[in-house]
Every structure is written in structure tokens, then in C-alpha cells.
Amino acid sequence: MTTLIAFIFVLGVLIFLHEFGHFIFAKLTGIRVERFSLGFPPRAFGKKIGETDYCISYIPLGGYCKMAGMIDESLNSKGIEGKPWEFMSKPAYIKALVVSAGPLMNFLLAVLVFAASSFFVGERIINDKSIIGEVIKGSPAEKAGLMPGDRITAIGDKKIFKWEEMTGIVHNNPEKILNFSWIHNGKVVSKDIKTRRDTLIDADGKKVVVGIIGIYPRIDTIKVGFISSIGIGFKRTYQLTKLVAISIKKVVTGKESIKSFGGPIFIAKLAGESARSGIESLFVFMAFLSLNLGFLNLLPVPVLDGGHLVFIVLEAILRKPVPVKTKLVIHQIAMALIFLFIIIVTYNDIIR
């Protein structure tokens, strides 16, 4: 039940904010909004207030803000007549602003959540000393008696002062017996530990075989001021968005399998785990998912916001609109491919 509630909450907030971005900028620029929907068609229920139908639709994997004079997720081309209140009648910069407003709201949410987490909870930093923060159950380290709080002082004849010094030696010696010395409750302990073989992905995306013993460094929490927390919010959003871009590039270029993508079931699972870890964990997860949503929507794929931006730029260059029928066919094909992608990642979730 926790997983379901967390999933609905996270997805609902992200979809609402994204579509609200389109909605509010459309209203501010004089574009008539015909429908504000949480979920994809067909429409389930709702209420019309003024010129806008506010509704819930049956397919809960997104949402849309139906603007007059625009072909969007509803795939409805009826009523495009070139009226002053229609999307297509507005200047290119207005159209680009309205289309970009959805992803902008997603990035803004990520910045605010990361900033709030830093300000109210503190910034977590890895302690660079060789102090153990966590020992994995059943690992070589646990079997040797290493415990959180212990400080590794030497490996063989090599004195250890920094965490990186220790991991460098361990990583370079997979399935090797190393003599560790550490301080436990003020006493020096020395034991042989056989490293375990593991595979990691390096900065270039290549698989590297390393040695591990199953320990993590200590994490310290430091207080952060208001201004600094805002900077951290922007920095973390940028860094994580960059990682998302790199991951997508690897899939597109064939360096990584599409199986690495998580679908609705995987997202729901992570939402549930985050909720059980606490409210901060849930909101940080929501922020990460939000920047994912923002970035993915900016990809130059028809139906997505990035696809709309491509059409806007193309029409500005050609100085004439792309025929409505052409747009409709392209959008229908893109929508079919998007649903196929959703089916594939959902299948991956099930077999995972």
C-alpha cells in the first residue's frame, strides 16, 4: 500500500506541475486552454470551468494541457482555425516559451527540493579519512570483524590515512589476500582478508574488474546556509541532469541496453522504498524523477515538448506552418512508438 500511495503521490505531483507550467504560461500569453488533463485519453471524468475542461483520463502515465490551435498528446486536430487565441497564431518566441514552461517547472522543482534538503537537513559529504561508515552483511569485511567506526591504518606495509588510498589498493587486488590493520575501540587489530571480485563501470562507461571487501566510508552532515543551499540545488540538478543525458546517449549509441531504463513498476518500487526511508528521501527521489521528466520532455521527439520546439524552429525558418495533416501523422507515429517504449520498459520491470 505504501508503494502505491507513494507512486500516485510522486507521479501526480510531477504531472500536475509539468502541465501547470504549460497552463499558466498559456493563460498569461492569451492562449485558450481547452483541457487540462491528468492522464492520457480517453477522458474518465472532470468538470468544465469557463473555457477549460479539467479532467482525469484513463491512462495514468502522463498528462496534457490541450491548447486551442495545437496538436498535442490528445492527437486532436479539429478546430485549428488561426484565431487570435490559438497557439498557432502566436509568435514563435511565445510558442517556445509556453512549450518550454513544462520542463522548466520540473527543473525548478528539482532545484527547490535539493536546496531545501541541504538547508533543513544539511549537506552530506564523504569523510575522506579511512573511517568505516557501513559494513555489508556477509562481506569479507564483516567476516573479518570490521565494524562501523573502525579506522583502517595499514594494508600490508602501506600506511593508510585517506579512504582513497585504501580503495586504490583493494581495487587493484581482486581475489587477493591482503593484511589489514585497523583501530577498533582504541585497540589495533590485524587480520588477513581475501578481497572479493566485482565489476564496476568507470568514467568512460567501460567495465572494470576490481577487488572489494564490502565497506562504505563514513558520511558526515554539515550545516548549510540559505544562499549556499540554493547554489547546491542548482549544482545538483545540473550534475544529475548531465548523468541522465549521458545514460540516454549510451543507449542511443548502443553502448548500453534499453534494459537499463526503468518503467512504471520500477519507479513505483523506488517510490515505495524512498517513502519507507522517510519524507526527505521521498522528496529527493521525486526531485530526481522530476529532472528526468524535464530532460526527457526536451528530447526532439514529436508529441514531446522537444518535438514541438523543433516544429516551432522549423516553421520560423520556413516562414510558414507545417501542414496540419503532416503534423498529425508524425505525432500519431511518435505516440505509437512512445507507447511501445513504455511496454518494453514495463516488460523489463516484470522480468527484473
Catalytic residue, from 19, 34, 73, 86: name it. Answer: 19
**DSSP assignments along 29-53, one per residue:** TT--EEEEEEEEEEEEEEEEETTEE
* Cα distance between residue 82 and residue 333, in whole Å: 25
Q: State the DSSP H helix or E strand holding residue 57, giving kind and residue range, or none if neither.
A: strand 52-67
Q: In a 10 Å sphere around its CB, with 0-12 CB exposed, 13-18 middle and 19+ buried, how is residue 182 labelled?
A: buried
Q: Hey, is 301 helix, strand or coil? A: coil
Q: How far is Cα of residue 278 from the mean position of the Cα atoms in its chain?
A: 19
* Cα distance between residue 38 and residue 101, in whole Å: 17
Do the Cβ atoms of 67 and 98 come closer than 8 Å? yes
Which triple of cell numbers denotes residue 326? 503532416
> 19 an active-site residue?
yes
Q: State the DSSP H helix or E strand holding residue 199, giving kind and residue range, or none if neither.
A: strand 196-201
Do the Cβ atoms of 116 and 230 come closer than 8 Å? no
Q: Which residues are catalytic?
A: 19
